[in-house]
Structure 1
Amino acid sequence: MSRIRLVVSDLDGTLLDESHQLSDELMDKVREYTTQGGLFTIATGRNWYATKHIVEHTSINVPVILCNGAILADPTTIYYESDLATGIMADLLIEAGKSGIAVLLFEHDKVFGFGSEQGIDRFCDKEKVSCETIPPRKDDLLQRKVLKVVLVGPYEVSLSLWHKHRMDVSGQYSFIRSEEDFFEIVKKGENKGKTMLKLAESLGISKDEILAIGNHMNDKEMLMEAGIGVAVSNSYPELMEYADFVCEHGWDKGVIEAMNRFCVR
């Protein structure tokens, strides 16, 4: 087994504890690993705005993967960016907002939204961000450089709208269910695993030297592409089928368990 040189962890439900905080125990483990020469980063569905405070308080020493792989960036530079073509999607988003779904639009350092105030509040409370409310107008949607869209509301409603507007055959988009009521729309072909390999190549690291850790289906490609793919115990059951190792512990304690097992230096 190759020595692990790069650890890539999902954020919500993985690196963060059950209170959505960074535990002292986890911080100590990451510092220990990076002090010994290891590289550590995160791969998250969040954008930079919702992630930068975490980067500032951890020992992350390489670029981070954002918006489920649509962005690779550090505090000063965007190394990779893949935005959505919102034209075909505009009618879907406007109808979703009218149907009681919260529509969240991600730019690199901002979040905009319309639709259900309850859904927007739930999203902002979970992500610890603020969201600027905008009118649901097609011309406004077309002017924005959107990297990811999240629909917050009953999954079945979002999926029905997806099929109604034939997004599944447009060839431009794909979707991920990242929470019970989070329906994430991303550019087809973009995912955490693809961007993780871009990062590894830039660092001169082979995929066999990567440990990837996650808990939900938007982590699937990342676990599959890494030398060792790990699912923490609170993972979505289907994700565990793609993992090389399933932790006994969940959330941050699962990350610590995986690093203790595979990152001996």
Structure 2
Amino acid sequence: MIKLVATDLDGTMFDSKGQIPQSAKETIQKYSKKGVHFAFCTGRGFMEMDEVIQRLPYMEYAITANGAYAFNAWTKQDMYKICIEPKDCHVIFSALKEKDALFELYQDGKIYCDKKLKQERYNYIPVQFHDLINASRELVDDMDSFIKNMKKGAIKLHSFFGSTTARDMTFEEIKNLPYEIVSQSMNELEINAKGVNKGFGIENLAKKLNIKKSEILALGDNFNDISMRNTSGTLVAMGNAVQPLKDMADFVTKTNDDGGMAFALNKFLS
């Protein structure tokens, strides 16, 4: 019996236009009322979640920043937070600052971004995310100095690259650093403290709720969802998911534009 559902957002719950299908809303509401716990499990940061939580009031928990920070969406109380230490943030930034990239740092509920975002966002960020990015970022004049003077760590570091070629070259250069580094299907890299990923987040939430691995259903579409495999009894890949996730999933549902989330929830929860 499934007691906890952990779901990705972009490409999974959201359709290709960034909307939440009505079928997903109604299905989540139905099973939430029956006692199933629902949790966002996303790479997004705290500042990017307010509107989503308002649109989906039956989602009880939020695992954000690829598993680094979790909170109760109903009470806004923190559940845990795992940071990259300031000195490690500087090591990572030093490896990235000369790249063709737009660097971001997630800290204390805010997302700090290089000031070139204002003029050059079209070179790095897919157009469908421009409104979200503009509304949630705080610009930093000198990121190097900002990081050197940090007293607290960051829950996540993130870079958008000018091309997938630049991203792939950078990933090869830094993949052996002692951190959790995920190369996404878009032109980005996400970096967390070692061992911190979406699977880690699901495992920690399940422990707090006294829920077994066999009672967990996870849904995703991208490379940063692969870590959910080891901590979820049932893994569902969207029909639009990357092939490695499909290959390891227990079930491949319909695409995010064809009601895939609702279809999978009804299959495993009914």
Q: TM-score range by the shorter chain?
A: 0.7 to 0.9
Correspondent of 1:199 among 205, 224, 233: 205
Q: Which residue does the alignment assign to 2:247?
A: 241
Match of 1:190 among 185, 196, 206: 196
- How far did 1:30 drift? 0.7
Q: TM-score of the superposition, structure 2-length normalised?
A: 0.86
Partner of 1:147: 155
Tell me the CA shift for residue 177 of structure 1: 1.7
Deviation of the 1:122 alpha carbon? 4.2
The alignment's TM-score, normalised by the length of structure 1, stands at 0.88
Match of 1:43 among 17, 41, 44: 41
Contact between 1:94 and 1:136, CA under 8 Å: does it hold in 2?
Answer: no
The code of the aligned residue for 1:32 comes to K
Q: Which of 57, 62, 65 is the matching residue for 1:64?
A: 62
Deviates more, 1:9-18 or 1:133-142: 133-142
Shift of 1:230: 0.4
- 2:28 maps to 30
In structure 2, how many angstroms separate the alpha carbons of the residues matched to 1:256 and 1:88? 41
Deviations 1:140-178 (A, max 9, x none): 1141531111110124324434555xx44442x121122
SS at match of 2:20: coil
Distance 1:49 1:101, change over 3 A: same
The aligned amino acid for 1:147 is I
Which of 121, 126, 130 is the matching residue for 1:125?
Answer: 130
What SS does structure 2 have at the residue aligned with 1:185?
strand
**CA deviation digits over 1:94-120, x for unaligned, max 9?**
564443311111124211111552256
Asked if structure 2 preserves the Cα contact closer than 8 Å seen for 1:49 and 1:108, the reply is no
| 2:113 aligned residue | 113
Q: Which residue of 1 aligns with 2:102?
A: 102
Structure 1 residue aligned with 2:215: 209
CA RMSD of aligned residues (A): 2.3
* Native 8 Å contact 1:47 1:67 kept in 2: yes
Among 31, 53, 63, the residue aligned to 2:51: 53
Secondary structure of the 1:20 match is: coil
Do the aligned partners of residues 127 and 214 (structure 1) sit closer, same or farther apart at CA in structure 2, a change above 3 Å counting?
Answer: farther
1:156 maps onto 2:165 in alignment: yes
For 2:139 and 2:51, how far apart are their aligned partners in 1?
23
The corresponding residue for 2:6 is 8
In 1, Cα distance between equivalents of 2:264 and 2:229? 13
Aligned to 1:81: 81
Deviates more, 1:246-255 or 1:213-222: 246-255
Q: How many Å separate the matches in 1 of 2:81 and 2:258?
A: 28
2: CA distance, partners of 1:215 / 1:106: 23
Whole-angstrom CA distance in 2 between matches of 1:149 and 1:252: 33
Following superposition, the deviation at residue 12 of structure 1 comes to 0.6
Shift of 1:204: 1.7
Indicate how the Cα distance of structure 1 residues 121 and 216 shifts in structure 2: closer, same or farther if over 3 A, else same. Answer: closer
Deviations 1:64-102 (A, max 9, x none): 100000011124211110111242443653564443311
> Which amino acid in structure 1 is aligned with residue 81 of structure 2?
E
> For the Cα contact (< 8 Å) 1:16–1:22, is it kept in 2?
yes
SS in structure 1 of the partner of residue 153 of structure 2: coil
Aligned partners of 2:89 and 2:147 also within 8 Å? no
Q: Which one-letter code corresponds to 1:152 in the other structure? A: F
1:22 maps to a residue whose letter is: I
Amino acid at match of 2:60: V
Whether contact under 8 Å (1:217, 1:236) holds in the other structure is yes
Question: Aligned-pair distance for 1:252?
Answer: 7.0
| Distance in 2, Cα, partners of 1:44 & 1:133 | 23
How many residue pairs were aligned? 259
Do the aligned residues in 1 keep the contact of 2:180 with 2:197 (CA within 8 Å)?
no
Counterpart contact for 1:155–1:183, Cα < 8 Å:
no
